[in-house]
Amino acid sequence: MDNLGAILEDFLLASDDSDEDEELLQIASIVSHNTPQEVAKTICYYEKTIPKMRDGVFKSHFRLKRETVEVLMQKTSIECADRGLNIPVQKQLLITLWIYATPDSYRSVGDRFGVSVSSVCRVVHRITDCIFALSPTIIVWPTGQRLYSVIEGFRSLNGFHGVVGALDGTHIEIKAPKKHHSSYINRKDYHSVQLQAVCDNKLRFTSAFTGMPGSVHDERVYRLSPLAKNIDRKSIIFDADHHIIADAAYPLKNFLLTPFRDTGSLTVDEGNYNFKLSSTRMVIERSFGFLKGRFRRLIKFPSNNLKFVVKVVIVCCTLHNLCIDNDDAFIDCITDPNLVNERAENASNSDDSGISKRTRIASQL
């Protein structure tokens, strides 16, 4: 945390935009609705109560079905074994999932599982690190046959051809950081970090980038993101007729399509294009809604430890994908009030190839 504090200090005192961008990247690269209530210490909750739970009750508590927890166990059992704690890996996982799923305090979770507050803290950080290490293998950009399945899936929604993903951002509310907290105050006047993500037609995240302070404009978040860097250096290559779709806050490019600016004089083709793009792009809003509905700690994260917040956000995106991969549906989708696109304005740095492509597609829809 001392290193992170030094990075923040330098970034927030810098006046040069390029220097500031570099510092922001260093920070981000560490890549409920009910009042919490204390519970009396539960005797043998893990050992006796959980095994007897009906599957529906188990999922309501831990947000994953038992089979998905088993898959997660197989992926993390060796890395997450902590002999110093003498706590079974499955119990560690369930403690951590409870923390992600609720706003409950570490003390109340410790009482429920019969462990100390310090053990809860150690377990959550350890499991978070283990799942975070899995994220590059689970949050992946579509290629090959999967890419064409995604494109066809998007086309079947509203007839919009060539879409490989929908891009947007959302705010994760946090406690005020100890230093330079004003940089984390967003337009809704609370402290936050941003999550920028792309999802496919099945709501699966294919790119996730978090850690930027809430005051940073979404176009700049995109410019600093690994997604933009990978596109610039051709690590992600788009065919001429393939593209990401986004709202007007993002720059119009040949590979990134945004709406026509509506000044009241749109043509029929332009209006139809805007409608179909907006309707198709709703998948990313639904992804954020399911993400925060499943892992409610992301609604209001009671921490100012930026490294930990960043890791937990990415871990929850990873678990979101793991659930989709294992047919682990979740019906509690919230309407996310913290979407970045509510303040969208047409970005200024469009390019000619993007303008031409958008006009052509509008005439063909």
pTM recorded for the entire structure: 0.87
Please measure the distance between the N-terminal and C-terminal CA atoms of the chain and give it in whole angstroms. 51
pLDDT digits (tens, 9 = 90+) for 306-322: 999 999 999 999 999 99
Q: If you ran DSSP here, which 8-state letter would residue 217 be given?
A: -
pLDDT digits (tens, 9 = 90+) for 62-88: 999 999 999 999 988 766 666 677 899
Residues contacting 23, CB < 8 A, separation 6+: 7, 8, 10, 11, 14
pLDDT digits (tens, 9 = 90+) for 320-346: 999 999 999 887 777 766 665 544 556
> What is the per-residue DSSP string for 79-94?
HH--TTTT--HHHHHH
Q: Where are the domains of the chain?
A: 31-137, 139-303+326-364
In angstroms, the CA 29 to CA 12 distance is: 17
Asked if the model's pLDDT at residue 279 lies above 60, the reply is yes
Q: How confident is the model at residue 12 (pLDDT cuts 50, 70, 90)?
A: very low
Q: If you ran DSSP here, which 8-state letter would residue 175 be given?
A: P
In angstroms, the CA 299 to CA 100 distance is: 10
| Three-class DSSP labels, 293-304 | HHCHHHCEECCC
In angstroms, the CA 37 to CA 365 distance is: 53
Burial of 17 (0-12, 13-18, 19+ CB in 10 A): exposed
In the chain, the amino acid numbered 222 is Y
Asked if the model's pLDDT at residue 204 lies above 60, the reply is yes
What stretches of 175-240 adopt beta strand conformation (E)? 192-199, 205-213
Q: If you ran DSSP here, which 8-state letter would residue 171 be given?
A: E
Which residues share a beta bridge with 174?
301
Residues contacting 353, CB < 8 A, separation 6+: 253, 254
**Low-confidence winner among 40-49, 111-120, 178-187 (lowest mean pLDDT):** 40-49
